[in-house]
Structure 1
Amino acid sequence: MKVIEITKPGGPEVLVVGERSAPKPKDGEVLIKVRAAGVNRPDCAQRQGTYPPPPGASDLLGLEVAGEITELGPHVKRWQKGDPVCALVNGGGYAEYVTVPEGQCLPIPYDLDFTHAAALPETFFTVWTNVFESGQLVKGESILVHGGSGGIGTTAIQLAHQFGATVFTTVGKESAVTPCLELGADTVIQYKKDDFVSVIKDATGGKGVDVILDMVGGEYFGRNLECLAPMGRLVQIATIQGATVSFDLRRMMAKRLTITGSTLRPRSTEEKSRIAQSLEEHVWPLLNKGRLKPVIFKEFNLDQVREAHELMESSAHTGKIVLNVR
C-alpha cells in the first residue's frame, strides 16, 4: 500500500510517499480501505518530533479516516465487510489501509461523502468529551471558543449552538468572521483588534462566560480566568503559546472555578469507544438531519501532503483540511 512516511523530524519537506505491506486486523479490529484522511495539528507536531505516537500505535501520521471495511479481525461483532465508516484511529491514517478497533468506528452520517466524513472523528471526539463531558456545558449557558476558524473551533461553535448555548469565539482574520457567525457564533472577536477579555465582560454585564475551550495556553491562561463567571470551567486542550503558567490561586478560589483539560490520543480503546457511543447517541442524529456539518476548507491528494501541512501551519484556513487517498 501507499503511505506517507517521515524521513526525519522537521518541516513539511520531510514527508515522502512510501510503500509498506497493508496491516492485518487483530482481535476486535477492522481493516479500512481509506478513501480520505483528515489533517490535524497533532500530525504536524508528530512530524516535528514533539508528539510521538503512544506505545503500540503506528508510526505513520493520521488520526482520522473514512472508507470501507475490507477485513474483520477475530470477535468483531458490529461491522461487516463493505460497511462505509469513519473512524478515530491511533495513527496510520495517511495510508491506503489502516486497522482500527471496531468501537472507534462510526457509521457515515446520511448524505456525507468520504471526504466530509473523514473530517468528523478527531474534532467531534475532542469537542464532545471536553466541552460537554469535562466542561459540562448545558443549554442556557455561555461558552468562549478560542480559534473559532479551525477544525476544533468550527465544530465547537456548531455543537454549542445546537445544544442551546450562547457562543463567543476568537479569530485572527477578518475573513473568518462571517463563516463563524453562519455556523452559530453569537459574537466573533478579532483578537488582533480587540481585547477578548473586555469584549466578554461588556457583553455579559461583567459576569463572564460559563465555559472556555482553549488551545492557546501561555498568556491566555490568566486572561481566561478573568473571562470566567463564578463556577466557570476552563477546558485546556493544547498549549500553542506555552505550557507553563503562573497565577494566583486565590483568583480561582474566589470564583470557585474548575480548571481541567485532556488529550485524546493516549486514551484507552475502551474510553474512545465509549465516546464514540455517546457521539452516535447524541450528535449523529443532528448530522443525519443536516443540522451539523464538517467545514472543509481544502482538499489535497495524498501525494500533496506537504502542501496540506504548509496550509495547516499557516493558519490561513477556516475549517478542515482533508487528504483524498483514493
Structure 2
Amino acid sequence: MRVIEIRGGAGEAEALVVGERPTPEPGPGQVRIRVRAAGVNRPDILQRKGLYPPPEGASDILGLEVAGEIEAVGADVTRWRPGDRVCALLGGGGYADHAVVDARHVLPVPAGLDFIQAAALPETAFTVFTNVFEDGRLTAGETLLVHGATSGIGVMAIQAARAAGARVIATSRGADKARASRDLGADVSIDASDGRFLEAVQEAGGADVVLDMVGAAYAEQNLKALKPGGRWVVIAFQSGNLAQVDLSRLMRSRLTLTGSTLRARAADEKARLAEAVEATLWPWVADGRIKPIVDRVFPLEEAAAAHRRLESGSHTGKVVLTT
C-alpha cells in the first residue's frame, strides 16, 4: 500500500514522500479501513519535525483520523462488517491507503456526509468533547472563550458550544477570520492580531471556560478573563509552554487550570470517549448544528502541500488528504 513517509526521519514539509509498505492485517479487536480521506492536524507537523514521537505501539506513519470503508475485521469484532462507512481516531497510520485501528475507536459516518467531511471530525470531536465538556464542564447558559477560533478545533468548539446552549467568544487573527468565526456562530468575535483581547472579553461579560491553544502569551489575560469559578483548559501552547500564573487570583476567584493530550491516552479511555462522542456530538452533526468545515483538500501524494497550508495559518477549518 502507499504511505507517506518522512525522509530522513524528520524535517520540513518537503521531507514527506510517498513510500510503499505491506498492507496491515487486523488483529483481535481491530478493523482495517480502506482509507478514502485523512485529516491533517498540528500534531502531524510536530511529529514530522521530530518533536512529537508516536506513543509506544502506535504506527510511525502520520495521521490521527481517517474515513473510509471497513474492509476486514479481526476476531471478537461484532459491531462492524466489511463495507460499513466509518471514520476513526488513530494513534497513527492515517496517511496511507489502509489503516488498522481498535474497533472501539471507530464511529459511523453521519448520514449525509461524504468521506472528506467525515475525516474532518474525529480528532476535533474527541478533543472538544473531552476538554470543553468534560474537563471544562461547559453547560448551557455559560460562556466559552476559544482561541484560534478558525482552526479545526476552533470551528468544532464554536459549533458544539452553541449546540449545547452556551455563548461563545472567539479570538482569531485578522478581520477575515473574525468574520468567519462570527459566521460559524460566535456571539462575539475578536480580531486579536495585536495579541490583546482582554478588554473586549470583559466588555462581553467574561468567560466561564477558556479553551486555549496559544499558551504562554495569553496566560495573564486568560486568568483575568475568567469569571469566578472559571476553568482554563490548555490543549496546545503555540506561543510557548512556560508562563507565569498569579496563584492568588487563581485562589481568590476559585479558578481551575487544567490541560490534556489525547493521543497517548489508554485504549480503554479512548473507547469510553468514542461512546460519549457518538451519544453527545453525533446527534448534533446529524441535525446540522455541527457541520464539518473543510478548508482545502489535497491528494495523498501532496501531503507536503497540505502541511504547508496548515503551517501558514491561513486556513479556516480542516485540511484533508484523499487517497
The alignment's TM-score, normalised by the length of structure 1, stands at: 0.97
Q: Does 2:323 correspond to 1:314?
A: no
Q: Which residue of 2 is the match for residue 243 of structure 1?
A: 241
Number of residue pairs the alignment of both structures matches = 322
Post-superposition offset of 1:248 = 2.4
Secondary structure of 2:11's aligned partner:
coil
Q: Which residue of 2 is the match for residue 16 of structure 1?
A: 17
Q: Which residue of 1 is the match for residue 295 of structure 2?
A: 297
Q: Which residue of 1 is the match for residue 2 of structure 2?
A: 2
Name the stretch that deviates more: 147-156 or 187-196. Answer: 187-196
Aligned-partner Cα distance in 2 for 1:239–1:178 = 24
2:284 to 283, 286, 289: 286
Q: Which residue of 1 is the match for residue 62 of structure 2?
A: 61
Aligned-partner Cα distance in 1 for 2:240–2:122 = 26
Secondary structure of 2:216's aligned partner:
coil
Q: Does 2:157 correspond to 1:156?
A: yes
2:253 to 238, 252, 255: 255
- Amino acid in structure 2 at the alignment position of 1:310: R
1:272 to 270, 273, 278: 270
Secondary structure of 1:25's aligned partner:
coil
Q: Which residue of 1 is the match for residue 124 of structure 2?
A: 123
- Amino acid in structure 1 at the alignment position of 2:268: E
Secondary structure of 2:297's aligned partner:
strand
- Amino acid in structure 1 at the alignment position of 2:278: E
Aligned-partner Cα distance in 1 for 2:202–2:178 = 20
CA deviation vs aligned residue, 1:221-245 (integer Å, no higher than 9, x gap): 1210010000000000011111111
CA deviation vs aligned residue, 1:2-55 (integer Å, no higher than 9, x gap): 000001211101100000001111110000000000000000000000000000
Secondary structure of 2:17's aligned partner:
strand
Name the stretch that deviates more: 244-253 or 3-12. Answer: 244-253
Post-superposition offset of 1:179 = 2.1
Aligned-partner Cα distance in 2 for 1:4–1:219 = 34
Post-superposition offset of 1:219 = 2.1
Structure 1 segments (4+ residues) deviating >4 Å:
none
Structure 2 unaligned regions, length at least 5: none
Secondary structure of 1:219's aligned partner:
helix
Secondary structure of 2:57's aligned partner:
coil
Q: How does 1:1-326 map to 2 (within 5 A)?
A: 1-8=1-8, 9-193=10-194, 195-204=196-205, 208-325=206-323
Post-superposition offset of 1:193 = 4.7
Name the stretch that deviates more: 184-193 or 171-180. Answer: 171-180
CA deviation vs aligned residue, 1:276-315 (integer Å, no higher than 9, x gap): 1011111111111122111001000001111000010000
CA deviation vs aligned residue, 1:210-263 (integer Å, no higher than 9, x gap): 000001111211210010000000000011111111222111001000011100
* Aligned-pair identity (%): 52
Aligned-partner Cα distance in 2 for 1:193–1:213 = 19
Structure 1 unaligned regions, length at least 5: none
Aligned-partner Cα distance in 2 for 1:41–1:130 = 17
- Amino acid in structure 2 at the alignment position of 1:131: V
Q: Superposition RMSD on alpha carbons, in Å?
A: 0.9
Secondary structure of 2:96's aligned partner:
coil
- Amino acid in structure 1 at the alignment position of 2:236: A
Aligned-partner Cα distance in 2 for 1:101–1:10 = 30
Aligned-partner Cα distance in 2 for 1:104–1:305 = 24
Secondary structure of 2:240's aligned partner:
coil
Secondary structure of 2:36's aligned partner:
strand
